[in-house]
Amino acid sequence: MENLLTRFSEPDINVEELFVQLVDLIRPGQPDDVEAARRSLKFLGLIFEKHPETRASLRKAILHIQGIRRHSMLYTTSGILPNTGFLNEIFRRICDRFLPEALDPAYLRSFFRRVFYRSSDYLWVAGVGEEAWLELAGALRFDEENNASTELPHGVSEILRSLRIVSYWIAASGLEPELLRLDPDLDVHESPFAAQSAELDAYLEAYMLSWRNPANPGIDDKHLHVLFEQCREVIDRIHNRAARDGTSIRLTYHVKRLGQLIQRCEDLLNVAENLRIDPEGRSARQPLVRLFVSLVCEECRRDDIMPYWRQNTELIALRITENASVHGEHYIAENMREYAGMARSALIGGGIIAFMAALKILIGKTNLPPLMMAFANCLNYGLGFCLIHVLHGAVATKQPAMTANVIAACVESAGGKLCHIESIAELVARTFRTQMVAIFGNVLLAISLSWGIAYLFFLLSGHNFVPAEKAAYLLQSQSVTRSGAICYAAIAGVCLFLAGLINGYFDNYVAYNRVTERILQLEWLRRAWGAHRAQRIAVYIGRNFGALSGNFLFGFLLGGATLMGLLTGLPIDIRHVTFSSAYVGFAAVSLDFSPVGINVLWAMFDVAVIGFFNLAVSFALAFHVALRSRRIEYVSLRQLAGACARFLRERPAEFFFPPR
C-alpha cells in the first residue's frame, strides 16, 4: 500500500487507475468482512500521519479529480428514481445487468463506478461505519491546502448547481395532479414544494455573495429545513390517505422519488452550509462523509431489482392486504349466530360446486378441442364462483387468503408484545373453527348432492352419470399415493392465494379510481333505472367488484393451470378439495358402493390431504405477504405458536365451536 501511495506524486500518471488499485487493496476478501476493511482504513490513516508528503500527494489527486469533472449527475441522479416510470426503470436495470452503461470520463459519477466497480462494495463501505471514514478524512488534512481564494471552488459550485436542479424537481413533482387530488390543500394554500424552490434561490444568491466575505450579512438555512419538513409532512399525509383510499404503483413511485429528492437536497444543503461556515472543510467533514457513503452505496446498488421492486410495491401491497383483511373479518365467526351463518354459506357453496363438478364432467364428454374445452372449464369455474358470491355462499379454500391478513393486522396492532399475544391466539382459534365449519359444510353438501345427482340420473336414464372406467379414474386422480395430487393441491393453493391478491387489487382499483362516484355520474343509468336503483347498483359494484373479479379470475387460474399442463406436457394440474369431494360422490354411485367401498374411504382420506395442502399453501403465502407489507419480523411468531398451544390446551373446544 505504501508503494502504491508513493506513485500518486509521479508525473503523467493515470490517477484514476491508482485509485482503483488503492480501493482493491482496501477491499476485504469477503464483502461483509467489515473488520478487515476497517483495519485497512486505519492502516491507511497511519501512513498519512507518518508521511506528510504521501497524504499531500493523495489529497492533491482527490482535488484534481473533483476539479476536472462534473458533479451534478452524481448528486442529482445517484440513488434517485428517474422520472421515466416504474416499468421503464425495471427494464433499464435488467438491460444494464447484461450490458452496462458506457462510462463518460467527464463525470464524477463515472469515477465512482470505475473505482467501486463491484456491486457488493456497499456492504463494506457502509459496514465500516461513519467513524472510520471520518478518521481517514481527518488524516488527509485538507485544511493544509490553504486555499484563500474568494472565488467559489469548483466542488462548491457543483454542489450549489445540483441544489438548484434538485429543488426545481421537487417543486415540479410536488404539484403533480395525483398529489393534488389526494391532498386538495396543496391547491388552496401555498405549497411547501413551491415555497422551498423560491427560498433556495434566495439562499444560493446570498451564498455566492457571502463566500469568504465577512462584510456581507450572514445567511441562514433554517427556514429551508422547516420547508423540507413541511414537504415531508405532506408526503406522510398523502401516504396515509393512499393507504386508506387506494393507491397505484405510479403514485407510490412518484411519492418515493419525491422523498428521495428532498433527502438529497437536505444532504447537499448541509454540506454547502458547513463549507460556507468553515471553508477549510473541518465542520463539513461529517456531512461530506455521510454523502460519500450514501453515493457509493447507491451506485453499487443501481441495478438491483428486488429491493427496487419491494420499495415501489410496498404501499400497494399493504393496501391490497388491508382490503383482504377487511373481507377476511367476515370469515371469522365470534358467536354461535355467525358460526351458523358460516355453516349455511358453506352449504350453499358446496351445493353450487357439486353442480359445477357435474357440468365439468358433461363438458368433458363433448370432445371439444383442448383450447375450447379449457375455455369452457374456465367459464364454468369463474361464473360458478361468482354465483356463489352473489348468493352469499362461501368457498372454504378462499378463506385462508383473507383471514391470514386479519391475523397479520392483529399482530401488527399488538406490536408482537407478549401482553397482547393471548388475544391473537384467541383470534387464531376463532379463525380455525370458522375454517373447519366452512370446509365441512362444503365437503358434506358437495358429496351428498353429487351422490343425489348421480343416483337421480341413474333412476331416470338407467345409465350411470359417470362410466365405470371414468369413475375409477376419478378416484385414482384424487389419490395422494398414485397421482401427483399433493403437488396439484399445492398449485391450487397458489391459485387461491393469487385470487386473494386479485380481490384486494380490484378493491384498491375501485377506491383509487372512485368507480362508485363515476357510476353515479352516468346519466343514462339514472334514466334507465331511476336514481334510487342507480345508487344501489353503484354501491353494489363498489363493494363487490373486487370479490367478483377475484372469483371470476380464480376460475380462469384453475382452468388455465390445467391447460398449461396440457400444452407444455409438464405435470401441472389442480386439485380442489370441494371438487374432489364431488368427484368421489359421482364415482361412488357409478361403482355401486360395492367392493370398492374401501377405495372410497381411502379417497375421502385423500380429499382431506388435498384440503390440507389447499389451505396450508394459500394461508402461508398470504400470511407471508401480509407480514412483509407491514414490515413485521418473524421473531414474534414463535411466541404466537406457544400462545396458540396454550390456548388449545386450556380451551380446546373453542377451536371447533364458539363459546356460549
Please give the pLDDT value at position 370. Answer: 86
CA–CA dist 63, 511 (Å, integer): 55
Closest CA to 450 of 599, 267, 582: 582
Cα of 94 vs its chain's centroid, Å: 18
pLDDT at residue 309 tops 70: yes
- Angle at which helix 577-590 crosses helix 418-461, to 10 degrees, equals 30
Bridge partner list, 583:
none
CA–CA dist 268, 166 (Å, integer): 10
Domain ranges within the chain, ordered by starting residue: 1-147, 152-278, 319-655
pLDDT at residue 623 tops 60: yes
Instruction: Give me the phi and psi of 601, to 5 degrees please.
Output: -65, -40
Judge whether 121 and 295 are in contact, CB under 8 Å.
no
How much is the average pLDDT of 9-19?
A: 85
Total H helices, total E strands in the chain: 29, 0
How much is the average pLDDT of 520-546?
A: 89
What share of the chain has pLDDT > 70, as a percent?
90
pLDDT tens per residue across span 319-342:
666 555 555 566 677 788 888 898
pLDDT tens per residue across span 351-399:
999 999 999 999 988 888 888 999 999 999 999 999 999 999 988 888 8
CA–CA dist 480, 605 (Å, integer): 9
pLDDT tens per residue across span 254-306:
888 899 999 999 999 999 998 888 877 788 889 999 999 999 999 999 888 88
- Please state, rounded to an integer, the average pLDDT across all residues of the chain: 85
CA–CA dist 30, 28 (Å, integer): 5
Q: Please, which residues have CB within 8 angstroms of residue 454's CB and are 6 or more apart in sequence? A: 464, 465, 466, 585, 586, 589, 590
How much is the average pLDDT of 489-504?
A: 89
Please give the pLDDT value at position 255. Answer: 86
Q: Which helix (H) or strand (E) holds 329?
A: none
Judge whether 600 and 584 are in contact, CB under 8 Å.
yes
Any idea what the Cα angle at residue 38 is, between residues 34 and 44, rounded to 5°? 145
Q: How many beta carbons lie within 10 A of that of residue 478, not counting itself? A: 28
Please give the pLDDT value at position 186. Answer: 75
pTM over 0.75: no
pLDDT tens per residue across span 625-656:
777 766 665 545 667 777 788 888 888 888 88
Range 98-107 contact pairs with CB under 8 angstroms and sequence separation of 24 or more = 105/69, 106/69, 106/70, 107/69, 107/70, 107/71, 107/73, 107/74
Closest CA to 437 of 136, 196, 654: 654
How much is the average pLDDT of 76-86?
A: 87
C-alpha cell at 240: 396515509
For 553, half-sphere exposure in the C-beta direction (CA atoms, 13 angstrom radius) is 18
pLDDT tens per residue across span 410-457:
766 555 454 466 777 778 888 888 888 999 999 999 999 999 999 999
Please give the pLDDT value at position 249. Answer: 74
For 43, half-sphere exposure in the C-beta direction (CA atoms, 13 angstrom radius) is 13
Any idea what the Cα angle at residue 571 is, between residues 568 and 573, rounded to 5°? 95
State the architecture of 152-278 in CATH terms.
Answer: Up-down Bundle (1.20)
Q: How many beta carbons lie within 10 A of that of residue 384, not counting itself? A: 21
CA–CA dist 340, 353 (Å, integer): 20
Judge whether 358 and 465 are in contact, CB under 8 Å.
yes
Judge whether 618 and 436 are in contact, CB under 8 Å.
no
Q: How many beta carbons lie within 10 A of that of residue 350, not counting itself? A: 30
Q: Provide Rg for the chain, Cα atoms.
A: 33
